[in-house]
Structure 1
Amino acid sequence: MKLTKIDSRKTRLPYSTAVLVLGISSIALCCCYGVPGIATGIISLILYKKDYATYSKNKEKYDNFDSLKTGRMLSIIGIVMSSTYIIYLVVVLNIYGMEAVSNPKLLFEKMR
């Protein structure tokens, strides 16, 4: 019985690192009024979709699908956190006004 050598070298998905970095940055940027966090999260999800299509064509060829999935989850979390922060800002603006958003002491005084 003759054993044949199988090419076991796997390649990396082209955007997996970018998806992971953008997912992390979407969480980090959620505190910057929410907009950068949503933008980086959406870009991350678009890149995920491209890489997932590439991965689903030939699953045995790629080895870093786990980091792609992690980046997707982080970008979803970042989008949710950014959206929540934007909703919070809109509510505070409607209830307390622009002065309270820019001055935390005034916000706490109006809340009492």
Structure 2
Amino acid sequence: MAQHNETGKQGEAAAVRFLQENGYEIVATNYRYQHAEIDLIAKKGKLLVFVEVKTRSNLSYGQPEEFVSYTKAKLVMKAAEHYVFAHDWLHDIRFDIVAVTLAGANLRINHIEDAFA
């Protein structure tokens, strides 16, 4: 497996742990709809959170969250809309980014709530 794929998997695992430690229940991972994918779908009370996880092993080119493009955000929103209707979700939703930096043994997580607003 390519190194960037392994880094991404480590980042997603770290994001899952972080969210669970902060009271979120993970309801889906890698949810796909057409060409769109949502990395994590989490629930906290009556709030459903669609999470894009971005992981970097160094910050030479910028912070991980800077790599969530407008196009990616639109695809996540499209898949989220499908999920909401397919699961008859009638409560609030939010779009977050969990930015993970894996630099050697150091792990840094930046949780950005309401990132697509």
Report the TM-score, using the length of structure 2 for normalisation. 0.29
Q: Normalized per residue, which structure has more helix?
A: 1
Q: Which has the higher contact order (CA 8 A, sep 6+)?
A: 1
Larger radius of gyration: 1
Report the TM-score, using the length of structure 1 for normalisation. 0.30
Q: Normalized per residue, which structure has more strand?
A: 2
